[in-house]
Amino acid sequence: MNVPASFLPVFEAGTVWLVGAGPGDPGLMTLTAAHALQAADVVVHDALIDPRVLGLARPDAILENAGKRGHRPSPRQADISELLVTHARAGRRVLRLKGGDPFIFGRGHEEALALAEAGIRFRIVPGVSSGLGSLALHGIPATSRDSNHAVILATGHLAEDKSLDWASLARTGQPIVLYMAVANLEPIAAALGRGGLAPDTAVIAVHGATTPAEAVIETTLGALPGLGAAGRIRSPAIIAIGAIAPLRAAIASFLIAPEVQA
Ligand SMILES: C[S@@+](CC[C@H](N)C(=O)[O-])C[C@H]1O[C@@H](n2cnc3c(N)ncnc32)[C@H](O)[C@@H]1O
């Protein structure tokens, strides 16, 4: 494919690009993200970035893993921001590569703030967020005229946090798409139940979307915590709860998609 150079922005030395890499499959990256990988002097990436994506980096680029490394603790957010600033001040083209979209549960805004405070110019390149992409790939529409006119994207990693009122989310009657929820399925399901969601509410989980470990699990709200406890639903996973979850059934037979695990 010949992409006219005029379609792609120039990656200036001393700037940082905050780029979304999508859910894993390099084919789901934007042209600008692929261009950034070819141009960057330094790639500071999250742990979840697919090795196939990192393989597109310039062979002489410095690769820095800013995610969890083995049993060592994750670097602090302030240290990651500092790393970006240091590389940019050294005159490098710095690619901060994040899974999905950098501004959806990706701390992209925190890093942009740190760069702005340090006087470093940056560009933001959106990506296919796993919450929407993982579902669409399997024929699950985030919205459909006949089922919902809104959709809630929520993080489940703060299940006990009072700032997220799960029962109120349930009362909206709108589908909920959960990121980072696998460790908290029991309290989340209980709170959604208190908000009125029935135990037979449809749920679909997509684990490791677009990776070799991909699995799709169809279940109900009542059975969800048990599947999590039994290791049948593992991280990273996107979990869709409500009216959109069963919609794939009507189109599944013609959908070209990976195998579905029962
Ligand atoms: C820190 S959040 C980052 C979200 C990212 N910024 C996005 O827009 O997709 C990490 C969570 O994204 C979800 N996730 C990321 N990649 C995924 C994949 N390939 N399949 C399923 N879920 C994924 C999981 O819920 C995981 O816990």
68 is catalytic: yes
74: number of Cβ within 10 Å: 13
Q: Are residues 75 and 175 in the same domain?
A: no
Q: Are residues 139 and 110 in the same domain?
A: no
Rg (CA), the chain: 20
Domain range holding 50?
Answer: 5-128
Contact at 8 Å (CB) between 133 and 22? yes
99 in ligand 1 pocket by Cβ < 6 Å? yes
80 CB-contact burial (10 Å; exposed 0-12 / middle 13-18 / buried 19+) = buried
Residues 108 and 146 placed together within one structural domain of the fold: no
Q: How many helices (H) and strands (E) does the chain have?
A: 8, 10
pLDDT band at 158 (very low <50, low <70, confident <90, very high): confident
Q: Are 14 and 83 within one domain? A: yes
Q: Which of 82, 106, 128 is the last residue of a domain?
A: 128
232 and 140 assigned to the same domain: yes
DSSP assignment letter at 199: T
- Asked if residue 143 and residue 89 are part of one domain, the reply reads no
- Give yes or no for residue 48 CB within 6 A of ligand 1: yes
| Domain total in the chain | 2
**pLDDT at residue 261, rounded to an integer:** 40
CATH of the domain at 167: 3.30.950.10
- Separation of 208 CA from ligand 1 center, angstroms? 9
Residues 190, 84, single domain; the answer is no
Q: Does 217 map to a domain?
A: yes
Judge if 135 and 187 occupy the same domain.
yes
Give the type of residue at 211: T
Q: Cβ-count burial of 170 within 10 angstroms (0-12 exposed, 13-18 middle, 19+ buried)? A: buried
For the Cβ of 97 lying below 6 angstroms from any atom of ligand 1, the answer is: no
Same domain, 83 and 181: no
Q: pLDDT category, 161, cuts 50, 70, 90?
A: low
Encode pLDDT of 3-52 as tens digits: 889 999 999 999 999 999 999 999 999 999 999 999 999 999 999 899 99
